Amino acid sequence: MEDGIMKTILMNHLTGRNKTSKQCYLDMYVRSLNEAGKMFNEANILFKRGAHQRAYFIAFSALEEISKSQLSADVYTGYIKEEEFKKIYKDHKKKIDRVKWIQIDANIYPCFRWDGIRVDEFDFKKKLKSLYVDVDFTKNMVSSPTESISKEDAEKIIKAVQVGLYQIHYIVDELGEQIGTKGFMK
């Protein structure tokens, strides 16, 4: 078990929070991060095979899993209430808004800028366009995923996932900070 998870469990015991924390939120934290890692690997495979649109979709979904992991960690640590989790959990826009820090970190820290790939705003509509044929009725135009999502778009969103997973790993595993937002605030 990672140092940060152990620290979180210990802090919950020391503060008495263990009496109110639900184990399912810690489990969701771990499983969501694991799933995000799998999706990251799958997006890379698809990208290398030239399936940029599907790689984009999978990588964007991984960002949502990262968000879910942090959201569930925040409930487990008492940073947010369970009711807030339930409001955000199935709202794609709100989940993506909670990982805005990934875009910021990817674009400001020199260790992430070496490759020249700049991470753009996360756009849920673009996720949908990466999988489905879309129509703009005002312009009377139809677009396919190939027309909507470029190789560069996929490259940027995959990098975002890589940065998010790395930052969480660094904070929790390397520095041993608590899981969720509490670990990032130090």
- pLDDT tops 70 at residue 19: no
Q: Whose CA is closest to 30, among 168, 157, 159? A: 168
Per-domain boundaries in the chain: 3-184
Say what the pLDDT of residue 178 is.
87
What is the pTM (predicted TM-score) of this model? 0.90
Residue 105's contacts (CB-CB under 8 Å, 6 or more residues apart) are 112, 163, 167
- Please work out, in degrees rounded to the nearest 5, the angle formed at the alpha carbon of residue 175 by the alpha carbons of 164 and 118: 25
- pLDDT band of residue 18 (cuts 50, 70, 90) is low
pLDDT in tens, 148-186: 999 999 999 999 999 999 999 999 888 888 899 876 655
Crossing angle of helices 23-48/52-77, nearest 10°? 160
Q: Which of 16-20, 70-74, 80-84, 126-130 has the lowest mean pLDDT?
A: 16-20
Map tokens 């078990």 to a residue: 1
pLDDT in tens, 64-75: 999 999 999 999
- pLDDT tops 70 at residue 125: yes
**Average pLDDT over every residue of 127-143:** 94
**What percent of the chain is modeled with pLDDT above 90?**
66
Residue 178's contacts (CB-CB under 8 Å, 6 or more residues apart) are 4, 7, 8, 11, 77, 172
Q: Which of 21-25, 74-78, 120-124, 162-166 has the lowest mean pLDDT?
A: 21-25
**DSSP-derived 3-state class of residue 117:** coil
Question: Which neighbouring-strand residues pair with 46?
Answer: none
Query: Which of the two residues, 14 and 167, has the higher pLDDT score?
Result: 167
The count of other CB atoms within 10 Å of the CB of residue 119 is 23
Query: Which of the two residues, 41 and 7, has the higher pLDDT score?
Result: 41
